[in-house]
Amino acid sequence: MVITKIYQPDQVDQAADELKKGELIAFPTETVYGLGADATNEQAVKRVYLAKGRPSDNPLIVTVSSVKMVEKYAIEISPAAHKLIKHFWPGPLTLIFKIKPESLPKAVTGGLKTAAFRMPANTVTRKLIELAGVPIVGPSANSSGKPSPTTAAHVFHDLEGRIAGIVDDGSTKVGVESTIIDLSTKVPTVLRPGAVTAEELENFLQEPVISDHHQVGAQEVPKAPGMKYKHYAPDAQVLMVKEALWPAALQWAAEQSEKIGVMAPTTVIKTGLPANCLPYDLGETIQTASHRLFAGLRNFDDQQKVNWILTAAYPETGLGTAYMNRLRKSSGNVFFTKNNPGN
């Protein structure tokens, strides 16, 4: 069994040395913690799939420390792409480009002629990549399908003994993964919503941007993570609760003979919950709710074991689109209803 070491930010050079040896290192970003391996080392990348239990046809994001790294692999970076890079990088935006033939291993691309690139805002991770001298793959550092990790402790819980180390830079700030926009198509297409919204991208580019949130078919290779397989799901059944249905949802919870997890806005928590309800405060805004979503789901997965989690639904606009994208997947798209709770 591998001993998983915790590296502090001032020990990032040691973590980079491990990456150079083909080892796996989890790293912090402003969104969630990622699981890094040398993106040019196919055997190291394959070990990422094994460590996570991730399907091998699910492509990986290539995490970089400079635009120069992207230029080494991308066939062309269009004027629109350069504009996005200048404004949004480093930050929570991932860009998909057509890449030079065989410039990256099939284990990274899923066999596609494209790859997704991101430059995170976290300076520690950019230093890690710079010291390693190569781009690194960066899927979320969790067991595949489970809620994404927003602290080093979450990573350690899922991957202890399976990876060489974790660079601990505290809790992440955004809490949901980056927006992914496909620039290999005629019309820019958002394949995964995040903190950078489709409306924001459209206004910035001054051209149409498609929002494509579909799940791909069984025989189709996804161009981005999160489009094919179950994601973000705790062991418990999550029930999404619309604002107007909180009284009915809490009444239903009170009638149960077991503990019920409640992830709700501060206003709901303050109204007082039934004695058998375990509260997790999502704060007062969609920003705090998005930041706390995965940590809350993990709380009821790892610490306070329950079979049901009532979780606040939000309007699907702005950041709410990204929040609900993750929540719909973690719940299997199940809403609480008065007549048929859990259906």
Residue 341 lies in a domain: no
Contact call for residues 204 and 87 (beta carbons, < 8 A): yes
Is the Cα torsion angle 157, 161, 163, 169 positive or negative in sign? Answer: positive
Residue 343 lies in a domain: no
pLDDT tens-digit series, residues 248-267? 999 999 999 999 999 999 99
Residue 340 lies in a domain: no
DSSP 8-state assignment for residue 177: P
Residue 247 lies in a domain: yes
Range of the domain at 31: 5-211
**Do 144 and 262 have their domain in common?**
no
User: Is 47 labeled as ligand-binding?
Assistant: no
**Do 257 and 319 have their domain in common?**
yes
User: Is 323 labeled as ligand-binding?
Assistant: no
Residue 230 lies in a domain: no
CA distances from 185 to 70, 179, 182 (A): 18, 16, 6
How far, in Å, CA of 266 to CA of 93, rounded?
Answer: 29
**Do 80 and 127 have their domain in common?**
yes
Is the Cα torsion angle 160, 151, 213, 263 positive or negative in sign? Answer: positive
Report the CATH number that the domain containing residue 246 is assigned in CATH: 3.40.50.11030
User: Is 73 labeled as ligand-binding?
Assistant: no
Contact call for residues 186 and 80 (beta carbons, < 8 A): no
Residue 23 lies in a domain: yes
Whole-prediction pTM: 0.92
Report helix, strand and coil shares of the chain as percent, to nearest 5.
Answer: 35, 20, 50
Cα angle value 166/224/229 (rounded, 5°):
85
Q: How confident is the model at residue 219, as a pLDDT?
A: 55
DSSP 8-state assignment for residue 220: P
User: Is 280 labeled as ligand-binding?
Assistant: no
Q: Which of 50-54, 68-72, 274-278 has the lowest mean pLDDT?
A: 50-54
Residue 15 lies in a domain: yes
